[in-house]
Structure 1
Amino acid sequence: MSLEDLFSGGSHKRKLGHFSALVNVALVDGPMTPEEEFLLLRFARKLDINELEYNEILKNPKKYPVFPTHSQEIRLKQLHDIFRIVYSNKELDEEEAAFLNRYAIVLGFNETEAKRIIDRSIEIFSGGLNFYDYEYLLNKK
């Protein structure tokens, strides 16, 4: 935990930034769908976003910056959240793909890592697993 987290609520600021990114990706391809809204409400609860913050972020989602973290696990969890929003309507369009790439870089992945992780995540979320990946996931304990 950093000093910022201890003294200035940095953890909550990071959650606000992450939630703001979730809202941005939900809106990137047009008005929010009911599925996206449902997921956003769940993420708001999970991230301890209160109703006032939720409504403020919906009005102006670009207001809150994304704060990168050194934790690979947290970055991957944040990308996973974004992919859940993107694939809530079962498709990925060009604007969403571009947003995913930019978001991965903002989170702290270099361009090569970002491309690899995004491409692999698209395969996974779109159901494009090959047999060996499927077998691995089934047998993983």
Structure 2
Amino acid sequence: MAILDLYSKGKHQQEIGHFANIVKIAKVDGEITDNEKELLIRMGKNLNLTLDEFAVILNNPEKFPINAPVSYNDRIERLHRLTKMILVDGNAKLIEVQLMIKIAVGLHFSTDNVEKVCDEAIHLVLNENSLEDFTEAIKKVHNF
């Protein structure tokens, strides 16, 4: 097996773990709304998931680990996607934010200010900041 094949497989496993986290956020309040379903479908396609992978993850997202990427910018992009899922219905529920904080720690955001980072992420997505502006602002808050 070539090194490129190993990288591709590892990257895909990271994407599966990330999608599972997004599904966990969508399911944490007990239901997946139509808006959440639409976003899940769009994100599943963007992450190159097969229909079988999508279905398995949707039914049992707890089965999959976080698999945080090494790249700090990739971790911020994941935080951005998680935040979009939380806010897809227009408001952030406490139970969703609490899970987001746990996932953010798993993405290697510092426990010292992870709540501040997540609060800022919510504020930025509510104000429809671009991913570039989001990344810059999160780096400032996270003191990276």
TM-score, normalised by the number of residues in structure 2: 0.81
The AA in structure 2 aligned to 1:58 is L
Equivalent-residue separation in structure 1 for 2:5 and 2:21 (angstroms): 20
Q: Check conservation: 2:80, 2:125, Cα contact below 8 A.
A: no
Q: TM-score normalized by structure 1? A: 0.82
- The answer for the alignment partner of 1:71 in structure 2 is 71
Paired residues of 1:68 and 1:106 also in contact (CA < 8 A): yes
> Partners of 1:119 and 1:57 in 2: how far apart?
27
Q: Which runs of 5+ in 1 are unaligned?
A: 134-141
Q: What's the counterpart of residue 44 of structure 2? A: 44
Shift of 1:98: 0.5
Q: Match of 1:105, as an amino acid?
A: V
Q: Deviations over 1:18-50 (max 9, x none)?
A: 000000000011210000000000000100000
Runs (4+) of structure 1 exceeding 6 A deviation are: none
Contact 2:17 2:65 in 1 (8 A): yes
Tell me which residue corresponds to 1:53. Answer: 53
Residues 111 and 46 of structure 1: is their aligned pair in 2 closer, same or farther, counting only changes over 3 Å? Answer: same
**Contact persistence 1:21–1:61 (CA under 8 A):** yes
**Once the two structures are aligned, what percentage of the paired residues are identical?**
29
Per-residue deviation, 1:69 = 2.1
1:77 corresponds to which letter in structure 2? E
Q: What's the C-alpha RMSD, in Å, of the aligned pairs?
A: 2.3
**What residue is the counterpart of 1:23 in the other structure?**
23
CA distance in 2, matches of 1:12, 1:4: 12
Residue 119 (structure 1) aligns with: 119
Aligned to 1:82, what secondary structure does the other structure show? Answer: helix
Please state if 1:104 is matched with 2:104: yes
Determine helix, strand or coil for the equivalent of 2:88: helix
User: Match of 1:74, as an amino acid?
Assistant: D
> Displacement of 1:113 after TM fit?
3.8
Distance 2:74 2:21 in 1: 15
SS of alignment partner, residue 49 of structure 2: coil
User: Aligned runs of 1:129-140 on 2, under 5 Å?
Assistant: none
Tell me the number of residue pairs that the alignment of Structure 1 and Structure 2 aligns: 128
- Point out the structure with max Rg over C-alpha: 1
Unmatched segments (≥5 aa) in structure 2: 134-144
* 1:8/1:88 CA distance change after superposition, 3 Å: closer
Shift of 1:5: 7.1
Q: Which amino acid aligns with 1:17?
A: G
